[in-house]
Amino acid sequence: MFDKKHSPIIHVVLFIVTIATTLLAGTEWITGKPGPYDFFDLSVAFPYTFSVLFIIGVHEFGHYFAARYHKVDVTLPYFIPFPPLAGFLNFGTMGAVIKTRSIIVSNKAMFDIGIAGPIAGFIAALIVLVFGYLNLPEPQYILSIHPDYFSPSYGQNAISLKFGSSILFELFNSIFNTPTNFIPPMTEIYHYPYLTAGWLGLFITAMNMIPVGQLDGGHIAYSMFGQRKHEVIASIFMILLILLGILGALDSFFELGFNFGWMGWLFWALILNFVIKVKHPPVFNFKPLDTKRMILGYISFFILIISFAPSPFVISL
């Protein structure tokens, strides 16, 4: 499985470091307190770390096993740790990547490899979210973090961070909103490790499913529709990202109260344009996909729609 030129040691080291950074990030999200932390403090973040690495790992191994099925030489996943930095919204990781070491010769293989990751990761995120909603703690849990949470004066004159909702999150909130459940608002969801990990899993899935360049969505769109149609689709989505980024920037600088858009989409658009590229490189053997794959491709874009949060982070006073 491994050759002498590609040792698994670097993968193991990165994975261990990512465990450490997600524990640190998870502890800060859940407790709302900056470090330093002792072991007891870090223990509250074990569910978050396990869930995040489970979702990311399932996503990347979806790509990995699809590539192996098509006899494409690929590396194991490289997990990407992200250490705590003051002033940054930090989840402890920037995801993971695998690297292909041989050419993908057909759009059929490209499609299978591209779609296997987000489909698998989406299912993993759903599992974590459903488990989180089915095991919501009692209201005393949020009171242990914010003793004045149910006070009318709670949050006044304080900076508020709100995680952006999506169609799927709104659906889950409706399904699990019962008289016996306390559903945390999106301004408090980051104190709940499984919900935070599930939210992050959907966010990562949506970002990867944008049909641009060599993102997963780009592989899928190119394999389904070919070069010309893919370029049109990619250009439309780039324009939408830029518009969402501009709206977010205007709202942030001029306090217009839109609460729609996010300045980070401009940064993501720049990365897509100059690093990942908007166009998809050609595949040597291109043939129309069969009906089953086309249906699965449309399902994947439906996943993008229901997982996408136009305003993933809203900071307000």
Q: What are the tens digits of pLDDT across the range 133-158?
A: 999 999 999 999 999 999 888 877 77
pLDDT value at position 2? 46
Mean pLDDT on 81-85: 88
- Do residues 265 and 239 lie in contact, with contact meaning Cβ atoms separated by under 8 Å? no
Given a contact cutoff of 8 angstroms between Cβ atoms, the answer to whether 49 and 16 are in contact is: no
Local confidence band at 87 (pLDDT 50, 70, 90 cut-offs): low
The whole-chain average pLDDT of the chain stands at 92
- What predicted TM-score, i.e. pTM, was given to this entire model? 0.94
Measured distance CA(312)–CA(25) in Å, rounded: 18
Of 55, 78, 64, nearest to 112 (Cα)? 64
Task: Give the number of residues written for the chain.
Answer: 317
Q: CB of 96 within 8 A of CB of 82? A: no
Phi-psi region of 138 (alpha: psi -120 to 50; beta: other; left: phi over 0): beta
Residue 3 has pLDDT above 70, yes or no: no
What is the structure's pLDDT at 10?
95
Higher pLDDT: 251 or 280? It is 280
User: How would you class 33 by CB atoms within 10 Å of its CB: exposed for 0-12, middle for 13-18, buried for 19 or more?
Assistant: exposed
Residues 99, 74: contact at Cβ < 8 Å? yes
Q: What is the pLDDT of residues 212-261, one digit of tens each?
A: 999 999 999 999 999 999 999 999 999 999 999 999 999 888 777 777 89
d(CA 77, CA 105): 22
The amino acid sitting at 301 is: F
- Start-end of H helices in 91-192: 107-134, 140-145, 167-175
Q: At residue 86, does pLDDT exceed 50?
A: yes
Distance between CA atoms of residues 230 and 278, nearest Å: 9
More confident: 269 or 1: 269
Min mean pLDDT across 1-5, 23-27, 229-233, 288-292 is at 1-5
Q: Are 260 and 309 in contact (CB under 8 A)?
A: no
- 285-316 per-position pLDDT tens digit: 999 999 999 999 999 999 999 999 999 998 87
DSSP symbols for 82-120: ----TTS---SEEEEE--B-S---BHHHHHHHHHHHHHH
Could you identify the residue written with the tokens 């997990």? 79
